[in-house]
Chain A
Amino acid sequence: DAGVIQSPRHEVTEMGQEVTLRCKPISGHDYLFWYRQTMMRGLELLIYFNNNVPIDDSGMPEDRFSAKMPNASFSTLKIQPSEPRDSAVYFCASSFLAGGQETQYFGPGTRLLVL
């Protein structure tokens, strides 16, 4: 399997622009997670889906952030409008719950810089 795929790998944008990050989870995985990593706050869970349904979005910073999972093989995280404080590395991860084990596999991340 190719692993979790994220695009773009790098994104530079100006404040106020819309940013869309994309993720393709590992085939067969039924959980998908979006994380954000910054120096100040470390790794934080933003939202996660189970079987394409959002389960917990309590980590989403504010209404400027939205996430969708229209099918089992694709998810997007959108920021509109973007702000400089959104600059971070955004990771997507996927997993499946098998026999109580839930090992999360991370994508390579999208490095976002908002100017």
Chain B
Amino acid sequence: GIQVEQSPPDLILQEGANSTLRCNFSDSVNNLQWFHQNPWGQLINLFYIPSGTKQNGRLSATTVATERYSLLYISSSQTTDSGVYFCAVLPNYGGSQGNLIFGKGTKLSVKP
């Protein structure tokens, strides 16, 4: 099946710093989402981005589907950005419509 690899696995930042999180996937996809799981466990959808670029405040994401990767940019990081960031994809090879495959996540810690 499709492989989803996220890097780095762990990231420690000073407040105000910028960061880039990467998601590589091994096959073509027709759905890619980024999620943030906060320290209380809540999973929040950040972006639906199977291709192209989107921005939402300090966050932006870019997916280059032909090269099978997506990037999540966090600018001017804040302590509230801490948590785990997951990339999830839906393979494009006729699998179940809803079977999102999650990466193992990037654990981000932003220090004040």
Contacts and interface: CB of A to CB of B under 8 A. Distances in A.
Co-assembled chains A and B: yes
Interface of A: 31, 33, 42-45, 48, 50, 55-56, 58-59, 89, 91, 93, 95, 97, 100-106, 108-109, 111
A58 to B, nearest CB: 8
Interface stretch (B11-19, B40-48, B66-74): B40-48
B99 A102 contact: no
**Prevailing SS type, chain A contact patch:** strand
Nearest to A56: B96
Most buried by B among A44, A45, A91: A45
A33 B30 CA distance: 18
A33 B101 CA distance: 13
Given A48-B96, A56-B96, A42 B45 contact: no
B42 A50 contact: no
Nearest to B90: A102
Contacts of A102: 31, 48, 90, 97-98
A97 B98 CA distance: 10
B55 to A, nearest CB: 16
Given A31-B98, A33-B100, A48-B96, 11 more contacts: A33-B98, A45-B99, A48-B98, A48-B99, A101-B48, A102-B31, A102-B90, A103-B33, A106-B35, A106-B43, A106-B45
